[in-house]
Chain A
């Protein structure tokens, strides 16, 4: 038996024994375990599952063991995911620490920072949020104005962030702050980490058209951030920010996103519209629209598989993350439009105070942010035309 086969066998056995039955059910948004200081576990099973996986480093399977990871190779990681899928095992933990800050620290953090922050992320002890956008810096992210004044021992941070995902629930923030006010705009930004319980931090949720409030406005009023809590060098934060944006775009465009979790367009249309005597969708124009959509959806699925194979082979996705992000998010918006169209009058019934009362409508509205968050579609096209096509 090859090493990988052995790994598969032992992983399968371990998962069988250690994954609680309740953690082998399909999950909704509400079942996600985000961890953090104030996390209230939904069930004992959720807590046990996190503890057991974290003990093996399998909340972050490919991170080095020294930082709380599992130290798995790319192939072993793939096997672990396959084996988890086989029994429908839920991810034990999801977080911006795992997706975003961790990879950035692994790349740019000091040894001390890695040893301090990464294991806390791996165990789900600290929940992170991302302080990027500001009211005046959306697509023009490098225009951030939140300032960090050097007072000797501290950076004193003052300003406002917006669209901070789950800022009201997060323990710590990784934040773009202008510490070099006289430098050119891309060279004056630093990447700071600080506790959301620090004096001077406040948050305010933003209610979206979908009824949900995943984002906040975040205010900083003279927050004292110890100087060792900077990642990388002063004024070099934009490099880290760009790296993370690339990472985020891959994630937003990828299969793990909501894109392939929602109800299939075909099932929704069949249920809502019904079939004619020849077994075709009774609305021929809607049917034609769905046909076009299926072609694009299936083609995009294999494009994502190709990107994964590309990464597994040790290549960087790099600027192509803009292609995936653009294609994937535009496709999801189209999907939700079609679902609403096939739903007709029925899809309009909605009690706004209870957003979950009409999943179709809330997904439809939520999807509109897909092509805005993490860089708008227009920014993606500008990146591609500049970096790939060299137009300008």
Chain B
């Protein structure tokens, strides 16, 4: 029941066609097996940028295509279906949204063109939004001295810049930091979904005044905007993961025979598959509502983005668990792709907040 405009359908179909050819699940598997530190193919990223994907949230004056969150979500869903490895979400969505909200057209343009990758250091704790920001930027001369630590920064490896939220005398500030700069220590690691991330330590990092791209209320707003759009697009990606995992599983049920008949004829499995189907429908609607609300600048956008992420988390989690179980023994093997979907779902669920994180926000909003 997805209501898409002609343009949206075109965006989705083009993304599906391109990714099917260039970045199917086997591409992720190959990157993993190579042990590529970057975890994605930079050449492919350039091609995606060439199609405007990294500029979907960037205004035309800054070299973007300004197509909005819904378009980005449609692309992300197709990426989720194929476990496409790229810094689309970190750089093309979160950082691009933050930079545009902060009026930093130059770096937004570099992201849009694929010239630069900008990571976004959203977290300091073991879980998303689990505590206050403690990284500090002390005023010093015309600039700042940055100290503190950020955790689990996606695509920090190979990033040209990292957006670092830090507290200043004037409240929150967003700082554009070169991770190769003196005083920045990077502990890079591969993640369960075969992507890269890093913990970043800042010790007496000297920044000039221009490194602060937003401060006070402006920084709060830019960060909120980046996280809001990021979580809605991440929800769309998870929706793609859930759909693909469930469709592959339904296909397997029709093929696998036991006791002389296909296991698709067992009602115990039929009902579980159908239950999952209904949850995917709800998720698809919630994701579309969040993306639309963001594009329309609706007051509901913050709430809907959290509902979408929380719902997509739950649905994707169920989808991959059912997928492995219903595939049986073969679902446990590395040779089958289903396990990769399970790993991707786990990482994406944690990224930008699990369901409890967003449910807690909804509860506080509701006054309980």
Contact = CB atoms under 8 A, between A and B. Distances in A.
A306 B368 CA distance: 29
Contacts of A390: 254
B314 to A, nearest CB: 7
Interface centre among B274, B358, B368 (most CB of A within 10 A): B368
Contacts of A381: 270-271, 274-275
A389 B282 contact: no
Interface in A347-380: 378, 380
A247 to B, nearest CB: 16
Interface in B259-289: 264-265, 267, 269-271, 273-275, 277-279, 281-283, 285-286, 288-289
B311 interface: yes
Contacts of A326: 275, 278
Contact of A279 (B281, B285, B367): B367
A306 B362 contact: no
Given A270-B368, A323-B281, A385-B274, A306 B1 contact: yes
Contact of A317 (B1, B267, B314, B359): B1
Contacts of A320: 1, 281
B311 A295 contact: yes
Contacts of A386: 270
A294 B285 contact: no
A291 B282 contact: no
Contacts of B335: none
Contacts of A287: 363, 368
Contacts of B271: 378, 381-382, 385
Interface residues of A, number: 44
A228 interface: no
B177 interface: no
A384 interface: yes
Contacts of B279: 327
Interface in B281-312: 281-283, 285-286, 288-289, 303-304, 307-308, 310-311
A300 B278 CA distance: 10
B274 A303 contact: no
Interface stretch (A56-64, A210-218, A308-316, A333-341): A308-316
A290 B311 CA distance: 14
B300 to A, nearest CB: 9
B250 A299 contact: no
A266 interface: yes
A301 to B, nearest CB: 9
A307 B1 contact: yes
B356 interface: yes
A306 B269 CA distance: 28
Nearest to B357: A291
A34 to B, nearest CB: 32
B368 A281 contact: yes
Contact of A391 (B253, B283, B307, B368): B253
Contacts of A290: 363, 368
B277 A388 contact: yes
A343 B362 CA distance: 21
Contacts of A302: 285-286, 288-289, 304, 307
Contacts of B267: 382
B355 A295 contact: yes
A295 B273 contact: no
B286 A391 contact: no
A280 interface: yes
B270 A291 contact: no
A295 B274 contact: no
A275 B368 CA distance: 7
B307 to A, nearest CB: 4
A140 interface: no
A299 B363 contact: no
A266 B278 contact: no
A279 B368 CA distance: 6
A384 B359 contact: no
Contact of B283 (A298, A299, A378): A299
Contacts of B277: 323, 384, 388-389
B362 A392 contact: no
Contacts of B1: 306-307, 310, 315, 317, 320
A288 interface: yes
A269 B308 CA distance: 24
Given A292-B355, A299-B285, A309-B3, 9 more contacts: A266-B367, A288-B356, A295-B314, A299-B283, A385-B274, A386-B270, A389-B250, A391-B269, A391-B273
18 contacts: A270-B367, A279-B364, A280-B368, A287-B363, A290-B363, A291-B356, A294-B363, A294-B366, A295-B311, A296-B311, A298-B362, A299-B286, A303-B286, A313-B3, A381-B271, A382-B267, A388-B274, A391-B253
Interface of B: 1, 3, 250, 253-254, 264-265, 267, 269-271, 273-275, 277-279, 281-283, 285-286, 288-289, 303-304, 307-308, 310-311, 314, 355-356, 358-360, 362-364, 366-368
Interface pairs A-B: 7 shortest CB-CB: A291-B359, A385-B270, A303-B285, A302-B289, A384-B274, A299-B286, A381-B274
